[in-house]
């Protein structure tokens, strides 16, 4: 988000998901799309059926990578040199869209100077991708009439995540593949309503509708509407809150629908912080590992038990409607917050979620025309939707970027915070598997999903396994500077030598004990994708 | 549960008897058939019956620890209840076995269903010409069915054992069970081989038997598959068009040849 | 053509509600209705006057869930004392039900399920739902986009299998009573029916010809069956289809003839629980996985079973494919590895597509 905000002016997906079908070239980076976003993957496959070319940048040989015309098996954390090299090839081959650059962008000279100083052979060596492949990818993307870039957590979960995104944005602008139908840059958001949460200002520096908290006009508007005095300084980021230690500045927390005891890096630190709090309240639908440590637990209603809206990666606001009653004492989060607020002396008196939406429409201009009666029909509306007559915005930056002109922000390679070394010679990548979701709070209750994938597996290259005498299915010890655990080895040809991959879904294999809290400075996102580990055989037989 | 025989650290033979005595007579599994066994909260799993109908009164189930149900079974004590459903499946063609030289080739738990056949043959009024047992285990401590092997030896059965890895005190052959087939010189005009074991062993044994001259109609096996209903409906046991619970689990190799099966490396 | 043994009658469209109201005195009614979100679904009807039936657009669900529920308690079990472990079959009261408005594909799938659940053993859980069912089907004058029942021999018009089979003749339905249940309905409520003659038979034939010409898809099912029987499908085709398959199980869940299931125990308390039968899919890796980890179906090869079952094994045993050409899997498949693509790929000279690894 931060990356696109600085380049385009807005952090959301530029075009719409259905436009992906009509692209001629699709560049997917850091996204295991078939497993994480099957609906988007369907569009990609449809596009390929129509003759589109698919380029996949991923250190792992995922299903999508096997399906691609071109798979760049990049070394983790080297996206910037790779995309910079691609841009250099575009320049060398005269494939840059000069007119677009001239009319619609700024700061090109800084990018161009940086690109001309690039050593392509060095870029190839750093990324592990042969130069002919880089050139082929660049050629495909640069020659396409309509090309789309899709990216996901493989791009953002790095210390240079923001720069990674900026570099992709640079590429799109250089080739003129933005601001047009069936083109653009598509960040694929990680959860159903994470876009909606950001839209509503669940960010330390933003009020609803991306109105910055340090911008006096915006802040005073909300002060007036809410009868409050909102602080002008941005608040803390997630990692600052959960990694502050037992005596951090935050003494009490209310955690809603998040399980940092499993999902944050350096879990020991998280546990220390949370146990050190004076007060913890948690709202969730199951008693998670975090909820177990709380002084008060609010049982929450799940998606099928409440009415409201969710906003997805293509900025589409859609209704979800209550289908069953919440069990026991579970209540929707809006009711929990309202009750709590009343006890704290500030009554919130909403008769319905529709009424809450009316207030949102009044205060957040991009949601200006969002009302439940409009959203009831069809498939919802995409913001910006300025008023009741506005039909929503399928694609952003049509004719002009949100910030006026798109800005090139050149970036240089930032090595990972903790690359492998002689003590910890393997690079551990963490991510997801198809059958489980996040910390498994919901999915690990399903007998069928557990049957398909019921425990954590450490993907290891078969050659590495053979060198170490590790058999498929053998339990091994995995160790990093921050912790260790045992896990089942899975010898599959999906990771390259020297790399390992596992998921974070299984609380009995809490991989985040091993991951590192190195943060991207722009977004605060931890480098889940890279840390250094070593593998040891267990002394006794498995 | 009447009695528990600990065969090795992973395998136990459970001797079961019915709560209703009439069932002991009515429930008469033929060699090669299986029952669906369940314990509370553990669901069901198919287990081959390792005792013959010629010895009524009890049912023997030889079980290796593998998953939830079998691990729970290994916690059972005499007197504990076990639920059985069946018997199901196609049994061994016992009528083909009299007067033949029979070669039983097994690995690990694979000897369990064959034990029912061997004991049936020994009980039978029309016995085979000869019985030879070729049995492979991981280590000498892992050799299961020691009591049976001793008894059979005493009754004139030729028993040959081998292990993958020796231990101090072991003076027998070391290597795969295919090694035991080396010295054989069977009279192919009246020989049959009955094979049961893990897929890798199966592949190797088949090719050895074929090389020795055994025809596909002279080789019988019993297939292991995940099962849920046991009656040909749920299809978890599918084998490229056949169902292990209905068309098997006992098959002639000739019936398996055209099928795409991992046991046949296709 | 109409079966010579079928009595032919007519019912005016205006009078249909009247007939159904009479039937609802002794039966539950299930019929396709469009809900407020625009989805057409077979739904149990409570207020006949508050609904309008959707008889052209195919319902998203099939009749399967009414005869083989997505989840069904077969037994409850109890542990008592040290030696008690007993099972009690579930007793579910299934009311007599009229299934109105089913298309030939869905009725064909019901006939398929009849064979599956009575062939080797008579499945009591299925039969108690099937016994009291009365099927009033409707022929399809207008196949939908993904339909290919013509290629699977299960439509667009049904010859036999329903109790009453309707053909839309504009302001009235031609009614064929194919079974005793249908004849009994006409006999019990003769007021709604009038005899039909040659004119209506001719109109029916006309409608049938138009329907047959109305398919948007030409799907080479017969050739696909032949290729499977001959065993001449190249491995690359299976590989590409499997690569596309995203392992969601949607095809099996929506498919009206997918009847594979799993059985699990669900504990309710320490000493009791339920044994449950639930829909399963052969495309899941766990479908064949054994305790201890071995899986006889190698990773990525599960999809093959779906097609060999429906287009080879079913043909061998039943003389016709298990697929009824309803097209539901085509609309649902995330990867584009549905039946139509399969049939086209196995009959083409060389499978086309990406995957240049």
- Tell me the nearest-neighbour CA distance from B146 into chain C, angstroms: 24
Most B CBs within 10 A among C67, C85, C309, hence the mutation to make, goes to: C85
A45–C244 C-beta distance less than 8 A: yes
Read off the pLDDT of residues A47-67 as tens digits, 9 standing for 90 and up: 999 999 999 999 999 999 999
Intra-chain end-to-end CA distance of chain B, in Å: 41
* Position B91 pLDDT exceeds 90: yes
Q: Does domain B3-87 have CATH number 1.10.1740.10?
A: no
Most A CBs within 10 A among C236, C280, C286, hence the mutation to make, goes to: C286
Interchain contact C194–B (C-beta under 8 A): no
Read off the pLDDT of residues C49-76 as tens digits, 9 standing for 90 and up: 999 999 999 999 999 999 999 999 999 9
Read off the pLDDT of residues C262-300 as tens digits, 9 standing for 90 and up: 999 999 999 999 999 999 999 999 999 999 889 999 888
- Give the pLDDT of residue C71: 96
Read off the pLDDT of residues C193-208 as tens digits, 9 standing for 90 and up: 999 989 999 999 999 9
User: Confidence class of residue C354 from pLDDT cuts 50, 70 and 90?
Assistant: very low
Q: DSSP state, A159?
A: T
Measured CA to CA, the distance from residue C342 to residue C155 in angstroms comes to 20
Q: Which residues of C286-297 are buried (b: 16+ CB within 10 A; e: fewer)?
A: bbbbbeeebbbb
B70–C280 C-beta distance less than 8 A: no
Residue A195 within any structural domain of the chain? no
Interchain contact C316–B (C-beta under 8 A): yes
CA pseudo-torsion sign B172, B173, B177, B183: negative
A129/A27 same-domain check: yes
Which of A41, A49, A452 is facing C286, going by the closest CB pair?
A452
Q: Residue C161 in contact with residue C138, Cβ under 8 Å?
A: no
Using the 3D structure, point to which of A156, A173, A188 is the last residue of a domain: A188
Interchain contact C285–B (C-beta under 8 A): no
Residue A212 within any structural domain of the chain? no
* Position A377 pLDDT exceeds 90: no
B235–C309 C-beta distance less than 8 A: yes
User: Confidence class of residue B197 from pLDDT cuts 50, 70 and 90?
Assistant: very high
- Partner chains of B (3+ C-beta pairs under 8 Å): C
Q: Which two tokens stand for residue C17?
A: 């509600």
Residue with tokens 């909606």: A196
Read off the pLDDT of residues A109-130 as tens digits, 9 standing for 90 and up: 999 999 999 999 999 999 999 9
- Give the pLDDT of residue A8: 84
- Tell me the nearest-neighbour CA distance from B263 into chain C, angstroms: 8
A71–C357 C-beta distance less than 8 A: yes
Q: Which two tokens stand for residue A276?
A: 């050190």
Q: Which two tokens stand for residue C219?
A: 């799907």
C285–A71 C-beta distance less than 8 A: no
Residue A164 within any structural domain of the chain? yes
Average pLDDT over residues C130-153: 96
User: Confidence class of residue C183 from pLDDT cuts 50, 70 and 90?
Assistant: very high
- Give the pLDDT of residue C357: 33
- Give the pLDDT of residue C336: 86
- Give the pLDDT of residue B42: 96
- Give the pLDDT of residue C356: 37
Q: Which two tokens stand for residue A209?
A: 């509708």
Most B CBs within 10 A among C119, C296, C297, C310, hence the mutation to make, goes to: C296
A372/A430 same-domain check: no
- Tell me the nearest-neighbour CA distance from B223 into chain C, angstroms: 11
Mean pLDDT estimate for chain C = 92
A67 CB neighbours in chain C (<8 A) are 243-244, 354-355
Interchain contact C355–A (C-beta under 8 A): yes
C309–B40 C-beta distance less than 8 A: no
Average pLDDT over residues C102-112: 97
Using the 3D structure, point to which of A347, A382, A417 is the last residue of a domain: A382
- Tell me the nearest-neighbour CA distance from A273 into chain C, angstroms: 37
- Tell me the nearest-neighbour CA distance from C175 into chain A, angstroms: 38
- The predicted model scores a pTM of 0.91
B 193-212 residues with CB below 8 A of C?
Answer: 198-199
Interface of A with C (CB under 8 A): 34-35, 38-39, 41-42, 45-46, 48-49, 54, 63, 66-69, 71, 434, 447-448, 451-452, 473
The Cα-based distances of B242 to B194, B248, C190, C227, C262 in angstroms read: 20, 8, 50, 19, 18
**Residue A18 backbone zone (phi > 0: left; psi -120 to 50: alpha; other: beta):** alpha
B80 CB neighbours in chain C (<8 A) are 82-83
B 68-87 residues with CB below 8 A of C?
Answer: 68-70, 79-83
User: ipTM score of the complex?
Assistant: 0.92
HSE (CB half, 13 Å, CA atoms) of A61? 14
- Give the pLDDT of residue A51: 95
Q: Max alpha carbon distance in chain B (Å)?
A: 51
C296–B263 C-beta distance less than 8 A: yes
Q: Which two tokens stand for residue A228?
A: 């409050």
Measured CA to CA, the distance from residue C327 to residue C332 in angstroms comes to 9
**Angle (nearest 5°) at CA C279 between C253 and C223:** 50
* Position A4 pLDDT exceeds 90: no
C293 CB neighbours in chain A (<8 A) are 473
H/E run at residue B16: strand B11-16
Nearest to A536 by CA among A477, A471, A459, A458: A477
* Position B220 pLDDT exceeds 60: yes
* Position A7 pLDDT exceeds 90: no
Which of C284, C354, C355 is facing A452, going by the closest CB pair?
C284
- Give the pLDDT of residue A521: 83
Q: Residue A485 in contact with residue A407, Cβ under 8 Å?
A: no
Average pLDDT over residues B227-253: 96
- Tell me the nearest-neighbour CA distance from C65 into chain B, angstroms: 16
Quote the crossing angle between the two packed helices A216-226 and A353-363, to the nearest 10°: 150
Which of A447, A451, A473 is facing C293, going by the closest CB pair?
A473
Which CATH entry fits the domain spanning B94-222: 3.80.30.20, 3.40.50.80, 3.40.50.1370, 3.30.420.40? 3.40.50.80
Which of B79, B224, B236 is facing C287, going by the closest CB pair?
B236
Q: Residue A258 in contact with residue A194, Cβ under 8 Å?
A: no
Owning domain of residue A246: 241-382
The domain ranges of chain B are: 3-87, 94-222
* Position B110 pLDDT exceeds 70: yes
A57/A170 same-domain check: yes
C243–A63 C-beta distance less than 8 A: yes
B239–C273 C-beta distance less than 8 A: no
A42–C286 C-beta distance less than 8 A: no
Average pLDDT over residues A280-300: 96
Measured CA to CA, the distance from residue A118 to residue A181 in angstroms comes to 32
User: Confidence class of residue B52 from pLDDT cuts 50, 70 and 90?
Assistant: very high
C266 CB neighbours in chain A (<8 A) are 447
* Position C32 pLDDT exceeds 60: yes
Q: Residue A41 in contact with residue A31, Cβ under 8 Å?
A: no
Residue C30, SS3 per DSSP:
strand
Cβ neighbours for A100, distance < 8 A, ≥ 6 positions apart: A173, A176, A179
Interchain contact C84–B (C-beta under 8 A): yes
- Give the pLDDT of residue A523: 83
- Tell me the nearest-neighbour CA distance from A67 into chain C, angstroms: 4
Q: Residue A304 in contact with residue A323, Cβ under 8 Å?
A: yes
Please state which of the ranges A12-16, A78-82, C59-63 shows the lowest mean pLDDT: A12-16
Nearest to C43 by CA among C90, C84, C1, C97: C97
* Position C326 pLDDT exceeds 50: yes
Nearest to A61 by CA among A74, A43, A78: A74
A472/A526 same-domain check: yes
Residue of chain C with shortest Cα separation from A320: C37
C246–A452 C-beta distance less than 8 A: no
A18/A163 same-domain check: yes
- Tell me the nearest-neighbour CA distance from B169 into chain C, angstroms: 30
- Give the pLDDT of residue B113: 97
C291–B67 C-beta distance less than 8 A: yes
Which of A38, A69, A71 is facing C334, going by the closest CB pair?
A38
- Give the pLDDT of residue C3: 54
Average pLDDT over residues A70-80: 95
Residue of chain C with shortest Cα separation from B223: C296
Higher pLDDT among residues A539 and A38, named by residue: A38
Matching fold, domains B3-87 and B94-222:
no
* Position A542 pLDDT exceeds 60: no
- Total domains in chain A come to 3
- Tell me the nearest-neighbour CA distance from A486 into chain C, angstroms: 18
Cβ neighbours for C330, distance < 8 A, ≥ 6 positions apart: C146, C338, C339, C340
Q: Which two tokens stand for residue C81?
A: 């004392």
Q: Phi and psi dihedrals of B10, rounded to 5?
A: -110, -20
* Position C352 pLDDT exceeds 50: no
Task: Fold for C7-62+95-212, please state it.
Answer: 3.40.640
User: Confidence class of residue A44 from pLDDT cuts 50, 70 and 90?
Assistant: very high
- Tell me the nearest-neighbour CA distance from B226 into chain C, angstroms: 5
Q: Phi and psi dihedrals of A532, rounded to 5?
A: -100, 135
Interchain contact C298–A (C-beta under 8 A): no
For strand B34-39 and strand B83-88, is the pairing parallel, antiparallel, or unpaired?
antiparallel
Read off the pLDDT of residues A170-219 as tens digits, 9 standing for 90 and up: 999 999 999 888 999 999 987 889 999 999 999 999 999 999 999 999 99
The CATH number linked to A456 is 2.40.40.20
- Give the pLDDT of residue B22: 82
Average pLDDT over residues A448-452: 94
């Amino acid at each position: 988000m931060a990356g696109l905000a600085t380049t385009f002016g807005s952090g959301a997906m530029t075009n719409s998901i259905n436009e992906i079908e009509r692209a001629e070239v699709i560049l997917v980076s850091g996204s295991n799309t078939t497993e994480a976003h099957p609906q988007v993957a369907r569009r990609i496959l449809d596009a390929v059926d129509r003759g589109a070319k698919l380029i996949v940048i991923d250190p792992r040989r995922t299903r999508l990578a096997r399906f691609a015309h071109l798979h760049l098996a990049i070394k983790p954390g080297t996206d910037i040199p790779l995309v910079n090299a691609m841009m250099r090839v575009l320049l060398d081959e005269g494939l840059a869209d000069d007119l677009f650059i001239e009319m619609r962008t700024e700061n090109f000279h800084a990018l161009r100077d940086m690109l001309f100083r690039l050593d392509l052979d060095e870029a190839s060596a750093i990324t592990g991708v042969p130069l002919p492949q880089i050139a082929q990818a660049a050629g495909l993307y640069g020659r396409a009439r309509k090309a789309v870039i899709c990216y996901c957590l493989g791009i953002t979960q790095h210390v240079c995540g923001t720069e990674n995104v900026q570099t992709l944005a640079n590429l799109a602008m250089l080739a003129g593949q933005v601001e047009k139908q069936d083109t653009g840059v598509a960040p694929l958001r990680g959860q159903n309503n994470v876009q909606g949460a950001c839209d509503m200002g669940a960010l330390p520096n933003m009020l609803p509708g991306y109105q910055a908290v340090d911008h006096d006009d915006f802040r005073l508007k909300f002060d007036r509407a809410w009868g409050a005095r909102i602080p002008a300084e941005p608040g803390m980021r997630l990692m600052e809150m959960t990694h502050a230690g037992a005596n951090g500045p935050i003494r009490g927390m209310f955690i809603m629908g998040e399980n940092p005891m499993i999902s944050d890096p350096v879990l020991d630190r998280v546990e220390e912080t949370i146990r050190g709090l004076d007060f913890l309240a948690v709202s969730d639908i199951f008693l998670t590992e975090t909820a177990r440590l709380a002084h008060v637990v609010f049982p929450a209603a799940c998606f099928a038990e409440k009415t409201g809206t969710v906003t997805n990666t293509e900025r589409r606001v859609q209704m979800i409607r209550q289908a069953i009653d919440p069990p026991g004492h579970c209540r929707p989060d809006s009711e929990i917050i309202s009750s709590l607020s009343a006890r704290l002396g500030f009554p919130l008196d909403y008769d319905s979620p529709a009424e809450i939406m009316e207030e949102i429409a009044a205060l957040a201009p991009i949601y200006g025309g969002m009302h439940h009666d409009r959203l009831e029909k069809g498939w919802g509306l995409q913001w910006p939707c300025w008023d009741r007559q506005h039909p929503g915005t399928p694609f952003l930056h049509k004719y002009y970027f949100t910030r006026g002109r798109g800005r090139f922000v050149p970036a240089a390679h930032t090595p990972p915070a903790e690359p492998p070394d002689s003590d910890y010679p393997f690079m551990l990548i963490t991510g997801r598997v198809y059958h489980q979701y996040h910390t498994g709070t919901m999915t690990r209750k399903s007998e069928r999903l557990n049957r398909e994938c019921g425990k954590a597996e450490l993907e290891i290259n078969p050659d590495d396994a053979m060198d170490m005498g590790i058999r498929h299915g053998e339990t091994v010890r995995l160790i990093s500077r921050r912790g260790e655990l045992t896990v089942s080895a899975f010898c599959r040809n999906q990771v390259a030598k020297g790399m390992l991959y596992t998921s974070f879904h299984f609380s009995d294999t809490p991989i985040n004990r091993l991951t590192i809290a190195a943060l991207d400075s722009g977004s605060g996102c931890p480098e889940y994708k890279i840390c250094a580990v070593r593998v040891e055989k267990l002394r006794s037989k498995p | 549960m009447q009695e528990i025989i600990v065969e090795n650290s992973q395998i136990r033979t459970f001797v079961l008897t019915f709560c209703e005595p009439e069932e002991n007579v009515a429930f008469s599994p033929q060699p090669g058939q299986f029952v669906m066994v369940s314990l509370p909260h553990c669901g069901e799993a198919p287990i081959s019956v390792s005792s013959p109908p010629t010895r009524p009164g009890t049912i023997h189930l030889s079980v290796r620890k593998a998953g939830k149900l079998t691990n729970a079974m290994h916690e059972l004590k005499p007197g504990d209840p076990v639920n059985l459903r069946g018997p199901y499946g196609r049994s061994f063609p016992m009528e083909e076995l009299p007067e033949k030289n029979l070669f039983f080739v097994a690995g690990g738990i694979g000897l369990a269903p064959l034990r029912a056949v061997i004991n049936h043959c020994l009980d039978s009024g029309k016995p085979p010409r000869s019985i030879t047992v070729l049995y492979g285990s991981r280590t000498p401590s892992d050799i299961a069915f020691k009591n049976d092997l001793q008894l059979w030896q005493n009754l004139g059965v030729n028993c040959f054992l081998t292990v993958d890895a020796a231990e101090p005190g072991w003076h027998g052959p070391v290597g795969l069970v295919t090694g035991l087939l080396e010295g054989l010189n069977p009279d192919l005009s009246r020989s049959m081989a009955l094979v049961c074991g893990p897929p890798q062993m199966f592949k190797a044994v088949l090719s050895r038997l074929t090389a020795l001259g055994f025809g596909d109609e002279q080789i019988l096996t019993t297939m292991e598959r995940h099962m849920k209903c046991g009656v040909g409906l749920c299809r978890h046991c599918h084998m490229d068009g056949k169902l292990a619970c209905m068309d098997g689990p006992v098959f002639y190799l000739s019936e398996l040849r055209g099928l795409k099966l991992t046991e046949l490396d296709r | 053509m109409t079966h010579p043994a079928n009595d032919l009658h007519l019912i005016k469209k205006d009078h249909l509600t009247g007939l159904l109201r009479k039937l609802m005195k002794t039966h539950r009614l299930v019929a396709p209705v469009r809900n407020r979100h625009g989805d057409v679904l077979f739904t149990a009807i409570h207020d006949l006057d508050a609904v309008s039936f959707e008889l052209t657009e195919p319902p998203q669900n099939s009749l399967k869930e009414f005869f083989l529920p997505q989840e069904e308690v077969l037994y409850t079990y109890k542990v008592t004392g040290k030696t008690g472990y007993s099972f009690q079959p579930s007793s579910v009261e299934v009311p007599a039900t009229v299934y109105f408005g089913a298309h030939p594909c869905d009725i064909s799938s019901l006939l398929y399920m009849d064979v599956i659940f009575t062939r080797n053993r008579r499945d009591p859980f299925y039969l108690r739902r099937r016994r009291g069912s009365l099927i009033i089907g409707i022929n399809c004058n207008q196949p939908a986009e993904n339909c290919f029942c013509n290629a699977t021999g299960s439509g667009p018009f049904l010859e036999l299998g329903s109790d009453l089979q309707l053909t839309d003749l504009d302001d009235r339905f031609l009614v064929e009573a194919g079974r005793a249940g249908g004849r009994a309905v006409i006999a019990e409520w003769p007021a709604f029916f009038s005899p039909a003659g040659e004119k209506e038979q001719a109109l029916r034939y006309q409608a049938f010809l138009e329907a047959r010409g109305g398919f948007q898809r030409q799907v080479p099912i017969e050739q696909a069956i032949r290729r499977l029987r001959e065993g001449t499908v190249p491995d690359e085709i299976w590989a590409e289809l499997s690569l596309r398959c995203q392992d969601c199980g949607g095809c099996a869940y929506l498919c009206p003839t997918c009847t594979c299931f799993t059985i699990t125990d669900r504990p309710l308390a320490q000493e009791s629980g339920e044994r449950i039968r639930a829909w399963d899919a052969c495309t899941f890796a766990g479908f064949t996985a054994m305790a201890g980890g071995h899986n006889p179906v190698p990773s990525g090869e599960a999809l093959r079973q779906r097609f060999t079952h429906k287009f080879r094994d079913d043909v061998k045993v039943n003389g016709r494919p298990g697929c009824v050409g309803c097209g539901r899997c085509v609309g649902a498949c995330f990867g584009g590895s549905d039946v139509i693509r399969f049939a086209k790929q196995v009959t083409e000279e060389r499978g086309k597509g990406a995957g240049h690894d």
